[in-house]
Amino acid sequence: MSTIFQKIIDGEISADVVYEDSECIVIHDVAPQAPIHMLVIPKRLIPRVGLATEEDQQILGKLLLVAGKIANSENLDGGFRIVINNGADGGESVPHLHVHVLGGRAMKWPPG
């Protein structure tokens, strides 16, 4: 069964795409938790970071680099937060690894 992210990657569902290359796509979150809230999603399915393997090492690094570039392009010079949810207790709602980039306001701690 395809996740909603796979359907977006395959063009079956439209999304507000901010960036795309051969390995990942960046979209605006449909339920933003901050003024700027984007998702960096690998095109190859990795269900969650806790299931990543050694062969996923390169794409995991790329996701963080793209997240930083997106934050810079959004002028989040005052700071931003990167979040990766893992499993139900971690807040994961889609079983397809994705990196949240949140900014545009001061973040609070603890986050959850």
Looking at the annotation, which residues are catalytic? 98
- Measure the CA–CA gap between 87 and 38, rounded to whole angstroms: 20
CB of 71 closer than 8 Å to CB of 103: yes
DSSP state at residue 106: P
* Contact criterion met (CB below 8 Å) for 3 and 45: yes
